[in-house]
Structure formats: structure tokens, C-alpha cells
Amino acid sequence: MNELAYVLINPYIMYKSRTGGVISRLLSRSTKLQLIGARMFAPSQGLVDEYLNALKEDCKDGNANKIENLVCNYVEKRYAPSNDGSKRRVMFLLVEGENVLEELKTNVVGSIVRENIGETIRDTYGDYIEDEKGEVIYFEPAVIIPQTQKSAKKHIDIWMKYAEKDSGILENVAFSQNDDVQKTLVMIKPDTLAQSRTRAGAVIDIFAKTGLKIIAIKIIHMTVAQAMEFYGPVREFFINKFADKVGDKANEALSNAFEFDIPVETIEMVKEQLKVKNADNEFGKIVSFMTGCNPWTTPENEWPVASKETCIALVYQGENAIEKIRNQLGSTDPTKAAPATVRKEFGRDVMVNTAHASDSPENAEREMGILKIAENDLIEIIDKAK
């Protein structure tokens, strides 16, 4: 029987841009777990207090052991707003699977007191350092997870209670209102998630080189309707881009079919009649790739239905975010992309090219709106999973 649990990527791990590595291990250390939802939080004092009380209540007989006390103290100090009122970024990941907590504890997250080197999330990104007297002088658990299924449900309910005001696109958390910054959308495409359970995290790690901050995340199952709107401008581009190729193909086909020269005006007429049809065919391939559904054979009443293809949408913020992300992404054609860019490392061709990134602030806003990045879908996901 599948169960739900959560993984919280701590503010320090977010600050140090270790998020991609954590996600890689989360997805690859166990094939039994599925990442079904994600959202960025900037916890208020109210959320921290209520979550902290729940953590304390979970301690056996009300008496916390050393590790449990460390976790509670960590949440109290590292999750709460700073003295100046500024909030911290926490990534909330919702996972589902059989014996999900046992998988997380044993194979994925690991023990707070390091047992191995470089295997689990905490092996790699956590720290637990004692002095010669056995006193803990440095503690970083990397992520926080629940200890029981009962506590998982209780904790998830608390985070969802505060989701409306404490989560979403964290506009003024990583940067102040006065900073000259941009937002941009990155969408990690279905091929990336289908081909390798480590690749999505590796892509996030490459984007971390930009120094930009992640301020939103969402798991996307794009509908045909969303894909049609999202890639709508591409269709118009295809009509003009491929018009001459349509004419050339028509000329070649007709010339091979007849033993006389085909009049130029005939080729032009055929080109005009087929260029839209050809563009629609190419456009349909993109929609099919992103959703698994051919839009021209899928009934329109099914266009709003979420597809089975999975994407991860992220919003990055910072100075010159559009340019920095697109430079790190690389050319649409992976064979022409610069070394060490996302598409050079992982892309295959102009369609199967790992990720999408907005090309302007205006398109970033348009695309975030189409994907409804600001809307909290976790409550609906949780209800469906029950």
C-alpha cells in the first residue's frame, strides 16, 4: 500500500545551491519512491511554531533524545524568520511509495549520525560534529523528514494550513523589493525525467552555476490545452520558417512525378496551401512530446486532462536571470551548444533537448501563468493520494 511523506530541503542547503544533489539522491536511491508534488515555502513564525510543537509532541513519552532535540533546535533557529524579519527558503517535496518512511530513512535520507560516505542525502550533505567531550559543535541535517506515518500526516496538514500565505513564488525572499532582478521559468522536460532518475538533479546543479536563486517549484503534468497555449508562438514561427522547405519538397516531389518542368506559380500555390498544414504537423510533434498526446487526434474535451508525462518547473530569480539561464541552457540544437551547458551535456536533438527556458521577462510571466506556478496543487494531490 502506498503512503505519503514529505522531505524538507533545509534553508542552508538551498542557500549553498545543493538542491540538485539532494533531488538526484531522492529520485535515484530508491525506485520505490515517486516525487508527486513540490512547492517553495518561506515559513512564517506561526508555521515554524506549529511545526515545532508537532515535532516535540512526536517524541516518545514527551522526552526527546539527543538527536530529536537537535532537530527541534535546528528548526527553531534555522526555519524561523531572521531577527530583521527576512524569511528563509524551504523546499517542500511530497513523495509517495510503498513503505515510504522506511525507504527514506534507510536508503535515501540516511542517519543523522553519518554511517557511510557519499551514499545517502545526509552522508553527502549533512554534518554532525562532536568535540572531544561528545558535545555537538556543528549540526546540519540537510533535510527534515517525519519519523512515523502518523506524524507525516499531521506535519503535512500543518504545512498545507500555511501554504496560502507562506508558499508559492517567493518574490521578495531571496532578494529585496529594491533589487534590480528578473524572474525566469525553467521547465525540465519529460525526456530528462524518463531517461535517468539522477538527471533532473544534475540539470539543477548546472543551473546553480548562475548564482540565481530558486523561488518556486512545481511538478507539472502538462495538459494538451496548456501545451497548445505554451508553445502557440512556435506554431506561427514554424509557418514562416518552414515555408521555403515546403516549396522545395513540393518541387522535388512533383518534378519526380512528371517529365516536365513544374511552373513556379504552381510550386508557390502548393507551398501556400501546405505551409500551415506542415507547421501544424511539426507543432503537433512538440505537443505530443510534452504530453504524450497528439493534439490533432485527441478529442478537444480531453485537452484539459493532465497528462502522464512529468516535468519539473522552476522559477529562478536574480540579476539578468533570463540571459544567465539561457546561456547555461545552451543552443536549441545540442550539437551546436557550448561545452558544459545543459543541452550539450544531456540534449539529443532540437526537440529532445532536456529543458526549456523563457526568452524574455514577458514570456516568463506568460509561461508561469499558463502552468499556474503560483497556484498550490498539493492539497488536491494529497486528497487524490488518500
Give the model confidence (pLDDT) of 324-340 as tens digits.
Answer: 999 999 999 999 999 99
- Going by pLDDT thresholds of 50, 70 and 90, the confidence category of residue 263 is confident
250 has a pLDDT exceeding 80: no
User: Residue 138 burial by CB count (10 A; 0-12/13-18/19+): exposed, middle or buried?
Assistant: exposed
For 223-280, the three-class secondary structure string (H helix, E strand, C coil) is: EHHHHHHHCHHHHHHHHHHCHHHHHHHHHHHHHHHCCCCCCHHHHHHHHHHHHHHHHH
- Report pLDDT for 186: 98
- Domains of the chain, by residue range, sit at 2-222+307-385, 227-302
Q: What mean pLDDT, rounded, does the chain reach?
A: 92
User: What pLDDT, in 10s, does the model give residues 21-32?
Assistant: 999 999 999 988
Among the ranges given (48-62, 158-172, 277-291), the one the predictor scored with the smallest mean pLDDT:
48-62
User: What pLDDT, in 10s, does the model give residues 193-217?
Assistant: 988 889 999 999 999 999 999 999 9
Among the ranges given (41-55, 193-207, 252-266, 361-375), the one the predictor scored with the smallest mean pLDDT:
252-266
- Share above pLDDT 90 across residues of the chain, in percent, rounded to a whole number: 73
* Buried residues in 56-72 as b, exposed as e (16+ CB within 10 A): bebeeeeebeeebebbb
Kindly compute the dihedral angle of the four CA atoms of residues 25, 141, 376, 293, in this order, to the nearest 10 degrees.
0
Read off the pTM.
0.92
Read off the pLDDT of each residue in 233-241 and give the average, rounded to a whole number: 83
Q: For 77, list phi and psi in degrees, rounded to 5.
A: -90, -35
- Report pLDDT for 273: 78
- Going by pLDDT thresholds of 50, 70 and 90, the confidence category of residue 8 is very high
Instruction: For residue 216, give the H/E element and its range.
Output: strand 213-220
Among the ranges given (120-129, 205-214, 274-283, 333-342), the one the predictor scored with the smallest mean pLDDT:
274-283
60 has a pLDDT exceeding 80: no
Name the DSSP letter for residue 181.
-
Read off the pLDDT of each residue in 86-95 and give the average, rounded to a whole number: 97
63 has a pLDDT exceeding 60: no
Read off the pLDDT of each residue in 32-49 and give the average, rounded to a whole number: 97
Read off the pLDDT of each residue in 351-366 and give the average, rounded to a whole number: 95
Give the residue carrying C-alpha cell 522545395: 248
Read off the pLDDT of each residue in 156-175 and give the average, rounded to a whole number: 96
Cβ neighbours of 381 (radius 10 Å): 15
- Report pLDDT for 64: 56
- Report pLDDT for 115: 63
The partner residues of 213 in beta bridges, in order of sequence, read: 317
- Going by pLDDT thresholds of 50, 70 and 90, the confidence category of residue 169 is very high
Q: Which has more pLDDT, 144 or 1?
A: 144
Cβ neighbours of 257 (radius 10 Å): 8
282 has a pLDDT exceeding 80: yes
Q: Which architecture, in CATH terms, is 2-222+307-385?
A: 2-Layer Sandwich (3.30)
User: What pLDDT, in 10s, does the model give residues 291-323?
Assistant: 999 999 999 999 999 999 999 999 999 999 999
17 has a pLDDT exceeding 70: yes
75 has a pLDDT exceeding 90: yes
Instruction: For residue 206, give the H/E element and its range.
Output: helix 199-207
- Going by pLDDT thresholds of 50, 70 and 90, the confidence category of residue 121 is very high
Q: Residues with catalytic annotation?
A: 356
- Going by pLDDT thresholds of 50, 70 and 90, the confidence category of residue 246 is confident
256 has a pLDDT exceeding 70: yes
